[in-house]
Structure 1
């Protein structure tokens, strides 16, 4: 119990409670913003904007070629404040250039794609510009974490959600779907302008760092690709259900039944976002890392058991809140709940520890294999078991990727310590 108390105490000491509350409120405000857009804009026009936006959302993680990922990992290994600031400036300058190139490629590509819906190309072009302010916003957030200023990091999340709530309401009210697209675009821009001065960065500093080499770029690129594939893993089930069952009702059913389990994945992300810099700074201290792993796994093992017990006892009531007809899919809901405990206990921790030791490409390989298994398995299970088959595949892969991450981390971590010694 002392291990658990210390873990929670350290989390709170690093202002983890601010990160937790900001994340909860951000999700709430985001939901309200989506609901307002649905009420203010016709479904057809809104659907076109959302279709275009979903294309861009998949590309946002590779904005700046993933240099924001490199910033948080390599920045945590630097000792001096001046070095951290110089690394921020390097990422800022190079990342902006890379983001502009990516935007240009998207715009050029849009002219060679035949979109099914009218005005899709227009919104893809407009929304592609989100990539630049989103990248700047992410490196600002990363720099706050490097400064151990998780309180300000939490405020960035909260402020972003408040801006999007009000901008969506005002711009959608006056300019409908075009206003909604503009609201999505200006939100990260306004949030960045509000917080960039709080970093106290000397933009005239030009200290050259030896770490900004090929490995630095490679790490960020693969970390970002891993995030893209992880997002795709959550989307592929819905795409395959629609393709294999040819039943839009089942697509809707699965989308809403999986809504609660997948929404609960924010909890390990909150803890990792709060702790990543700290355990990366101490990555060569085996005793510290082992104690952190024990504490994390104990906390999320207990959390998972409580969550599964509650879900087992009240699954029908939970699904009834969404729609009384969903009670026939209790088994599917429980299978997904069992699946996310694999992310709670293993994947969330060891995936990030792999990134912490500079092996982000391993996460990419694991996600790639998981995606391949997902498609092959669903082609067999969905026609046989319906949406329950999709849930079985997802649950197995959540545990599979987590356990594989565990083995890869310990194998590579031991080699890292031997090399360091």
Structure 2
């Protein structure tokens, strides 16, 4: 029990309460902003903007060629603030150029695609520029974490959500769908402008970083690819349900039944976002890492048991709040709840520990393997069990990829420590 208490105290001492509060509030404000957009904009027009936006969202993880991922991992290994600031300036310059290249390629590519909906290309071109301010926003957040300033990191999340809410309220009301697209674009830009000076970095500094080697770029590239493939893992079920069942109602049912389980995945992300820099700095201290793993796993075992038990007892009530017709899919809901515990206990932790030892490529291979198994399994289970089959596949893969992450981490970590001796 002392292990659990010390873990929670450590999390709170690193301003974890600010991070978790800001994350929850951001989700609430984002929901309100989406609701406002529905009130001010016709559904068919809003759908066109969202279609273009989803294309851009899929590419956001590779903005800056993933250099924001490299910054947080390699920056944590640097000893001085001067070195970390120098690395930030390098990532800012190179990452913006890489993001500009992606924007250019996306715009050029849009001229070779025949879009089904009118004005899709216009919105895609506008929203493609979202790649640049989003990258800058992410590296500012990463730098706050490197400075162990999780309070400011949390504020970036909170202020971003406030600006999003206000901009969507005003711009959607006056300029409809075009205003909504502009609101999405200006939100990370405005937030970045507000916070970049709070980093206390001399932007005229001429000190060059020595850590930005090929491995640095390779790490960021594979980390970003891993995020893209992981996104696909959550999307592929919906796509295959539509393709194999040819029933749009089943797509809607699965989308809403999975809404609560997948939304709850924010919890391990909050803990990892708060702690990643700390355990990466101490990655060669085996005793610290082992104790951290024990503490984390213990905490999320308790959290998982509580959530599964709660949902098992009140699943009918929970699903009924969404729609009474969803109660018939209680088994599917509980299977997904069991599945996310695999991410809670194993995948969330060991996937990030793999990143902390520089093995982002291993995460990519695990996610790709999971994606392949997802497609194969769903082709068999969805026609046989319907959306329950998709839930079974997802739940099994959450646990399987978690176990693979744990096994490979321990294997690679032992090799890393031996190499260090």
Please state which band the TM-score falls in when normalised by the shorter chain.
over 0.9
Partner of 2:148: 148
Partner of 1:83: 83
Q: Secondary structure at the match of 1:358?
A: coil
- Give me the whole-angstrom Cα distance separating, in 2, the residues matched to 1:124 and 1:190: 20
Partner of 2:408: 408
Cα RMSD of the aligned pairs, angstroms, is 0.5
Q: Secondary structure at the match of 2:204?
A: coil
CA offsets 1:115-166 (integer angstroms, 9 cap, x no match): 1111111111000000000000000000000000000000000000000001
- Give me the whole-angstrom Cα distance separating, in 1, the residues matched to 2:205 and 2:7: 38
Give, in angstroms, the shift of residue 330 of structure 1. Answer: 0.1
Aligned residues: 421
- Give me the whole-angstrom Cα distance separating, in 1, the residues matched to 2:53 and 2:146: 30
1:125 corresponds to 2:125: yes
Structure 1: any 5+ residue segments left out of the alignment? Answer: none
Question: 2:76–2:281: 8 Å Cα contact kept in structure 1?
Answer: yes
Give, in angstroms, the shift of residue 211 of structure 1. Answer: 1.3
Give, in angstroms, the shift of residue 207 of structure 1. Answer: 1.8
Give, in angstroms, the shift of residue 208 of structure 1. Answer: 2.1
Partner of 2:218: 218
- Give me the whole-angstrom Cα distance separating, in 1, the residues matched to 2:148 and 2:246: 50
- Give me the whole-angstrom Cα distance separating, in 2, the residues matched to 1:341 and 1:54: 27
1:136 corresponds to 2:136: yes
Give, in angstroms, the shift of residue 408 of structure 1. Answer: 0.5
- Give me the whole-angstrom Cα distance separating, in 1, the residues matched to 2:218 and 2:320: 47
- Give me the whole-angstrom Cα distance separating, in 2, the residues matched to 1:37 and 1:356: 39
CA offsets 1:71-130 (integer angstroms, 9 cap, x no match): 000000000010000000000000000000000000000000111111111111000000
With normalisation by structure 1, the TM-score equals 1.00
Partner of 1:278: 278
- Give me the whole-angstrom Cα distance separating, in 1, the residues matched to 2:190 and 2:293: 38
- Give me the whole-angstrom Cα distance separating, in 2, the residues matched to 1:13 and 1:240: 44
Answer with 146-155 or 198-207: which moved more. Answer: 198-207
1:353 corresponds to 2:359: no
- Give me the whole-angstrom Cα distance separating, in 1, the residues matched to 2:304 and 2:18: 22
Question: 2:19–2:150: 8 Å Cα contact kept in structure 1?
Answer: yes
- Give me the whole-angstrom Cα distance separating, in 2, the residues matched to 1:381 and 1:243: 13
CA offsets 1:335-389 (integer angstroms, 9 cap, x no match): 0000000000000000000000000000000000101111111111111100000
Partner of 2:394: 394
Give, in angstroms, the shift of residue 206 of structure 1. Answer: 2.2
- Give me the whole-angstrom Cα distance separating, in 2, the residues matched to 1:100 and 1:84: 24
- Give me the whole-angstrom Cα distance separating, in 1, the residues matched to 2:265 and 2:355: 19
- Give me the whole-angstrom Cα distance separating, in 1, the residues matched to 2:40 and 2:398: 38
- Give me the whole-angstrom Cα distance separating, in 2, the residues matched to 1:308 and 1:112: 48
Partner of 2:245: 245
Question: 2:90–2:209: 8 Å Cα contact kept in structure 1?
Answer: no
Q: Secondary structure at the match of 2:205?
A: coil
- Give me the whole-angstrom Cα distance separating, in 2, the residues matched to 1:172 and 1:258: 29
Structure 2: any 5+ residue segments left out of the alignment? Answer: none
